Amino acid sequence: MKCVVIFMTDDVAQTYDGKPLMLQEALFCPVLNWCMRAWTEKGIRRFFVVCAPEYHEEVTACFPEGAVAVVGTEEDYHRDIGEFAKGCWIEEIHEAMLPVGSMMLSFRTVPELIRLQQAVKEDIVTYHQNTGVNVLAPDNTYIDPRVSIGAGTLILPGTILRGNTIIGDNCEIGPNTVLEDCVVGDGSVVNASQAYDSVLGRDVHVGPYAHIRPKCQIGDGCKVGAFVEVKNAVFGENTKMSHLTYVGDADVGSRVNFGCGTITSNYDGFRKHRTVIGDDVFVGCNTNLVPPVTVGDGAYIAAGTTVTKDVEADSLAIGRVRQEVKPGWAKTRREIFGKKK
């Protein structure tokens, strides 16, 4: 059994931000995470990382699942390594390195790391292509090593996949799309949009130019269309937001239709409030929902309404100034100001 000891106390001087080289990012992922993933694939599960106390939290976040790993100072290392690595062969790592193919290549400066990125970028794309992912433009695609992509998925140019993103089978991602720490269900399409820390169900259509902010759960068959922004919201199945809509801090049912220009006014200047919308609700264009407010199942909200009170199930809510038509008013105004039609 092997125990790997990584010393991160000597390479800080070679970086621009004062962090050790092993905590610099290559394709959005700390180098230490790259190395630990490579070592665990070889069956190594025991690690001791030596670094300054201010980096302990970042180092801990790099530990792979199932690893037996600790982080400490040099004093901790000299005191604890005997017991921690008892019965193990100890391999000490004193220089920064990055796994490229089957090799671990060392580097001493950030510019050297940047040059190595191209090689690992190609390795990642090749890996996904070999598992049935169609990466249409490898030179313009950037995939974090922690990302998982299902077979039959098409990755279009300009796509950036970061963090612990999981993409299902037969999806279409891109062009010009960013996904970070997201789960995307089978058969979904994300076109020219950005999504962060959210879950998208099966057969979801996003974009173009949509923004899915953190803590969203979007049900199967939903549409998040052009220039739509959602945040900290839950949507049931087959709900549609086709264009120019903002839904934040909301619990939305299934088969809800949001008309163009709808917003939830979730912030009162001091606190955030939630909007609750039931199933089968129709929300007309240019509607303002001012929470805390609840809209019951099957309700209909007329276009141009500002909703400030709860709406009962299967009822009509309308709150706008009654239209008045004044015949000849425009003609008289033009005559007064001497303007011709």
Catalytic residue among 128, 205, 211, 243: 243
Q: Is the peptide bond before 157 cis (omega within 30 degrees of 0)?
A: no
Phi, psi (degrees; rounded to nearest 5) at 284: -70, 170
Cα–Cα distance for residue pair 56/67, rounded to 1 Å: 16
Active-site annotation holds for 243: yes
One DSSP character per residue, 125-176 reads HHHHHHTT-EES-GGG-EE-TT-EE-TT-EE-TT-EEETT-EE-TT-EE-SS
| Long-range contacts, 184-192 (Cβ 8 Å, 24+) | 185/220, 186/150
State how far the alpha carbon of 28 is from the alpha carbons of 2, 39, 86, 129, 146, in Å.
Answer: 28, 19, 35, 20, 10
Those residues with Cβ within 8 angstroms of residue 203's Cβ, 6 or more apart along the chain or in another chain: 185, 186, 187, 188, 220, 221
Phi, psi (degrees; rounded to nearest 5) at 321: -70, 135
Greatest Cα pair distance in the chain: 100
Spell 296-334 as b/e; 16+ CB within 10 A means b: bbbbbbbebbebeeebeeeeebeeeeeeeeeeeeeeeee
* Count of C-beta atoms within a 10 Å radius of residue 10: 13
Contact status, residue 162 vs residue 178, Cβ threshold 8 Å? yes
Angle at CA 82, nearest 5°, toward 73 and 59? 35
Cα–Cα distance for residue pair 253/265, rounded to 1 Å: 18
- Which of helix, strand or coil describes residue 316? strand
Contact status, residue 177 vs residue 171, Cβ threshold 8 Å? no
In Å, how far from its chain's centre is CA 273?
A: 23
- Which residues are known catalytic residues? 243
